[in-house]
Structure 1
Amino acid sequence: MIVFEPPVGIYLGIGQIRVVNSLQDAAECLMSEKWPGLRGAAFEKATLILIAASAGFKNADQARQAFASAAVEAGILVDPKLLVH
């Protein structure tokens, strides 16, 4: 399992935060119909990097950063200071 350290928090709706702490969690979020906001260039790049990471061609930090960038693009990234882990 590829673990994200530190985890990435995303807003799923009013008062709903999901803590994403693994490649599998990130992939589930990106592929979910609940992914809010923009599915632009960062979303597409994150999808490709997550696939590459699952095949061993990218590392956890690269996958985490790509997922966080997609969350920024969509306007749903939670300030890391708000996450308790």
Structure 2
Amino acid sequence: MIGKLVFGAAIALVAMLSWSDIGLRSAAACNRINGCGMDTLLESRGMMDSGKMSEAMAAGKANMDAFKRLRDAERKAPPRRR
């Protein structure tokens, strides 16, 4: 009997804590009128218009090419002896 009461109290406590966290999290996530998604879209659009996105894409491609050249050089190199 006491075991069932303790188990029920533990379940109720976990349910209350998780339910209150969910409520607080959703309210703190985004409280803008247009929503946070709109901020992301406007930021992306601004980057496209200013040319920063093209610069970032070119830098990323150059970085990937450098890593591929390094990987290929490591594959061609003879194995090291220990």
**TM-score band, normalised by shorter chain:** under 0.3
More strand by share: 1
Say which structure, 1 or 2, has more relative contact order (CA 8 Å, 6+ apart): 1
**TM-score of the two chains, using structure 1 as the length reference:** 0.21
Q: Which has the higher helix share?
A: 2
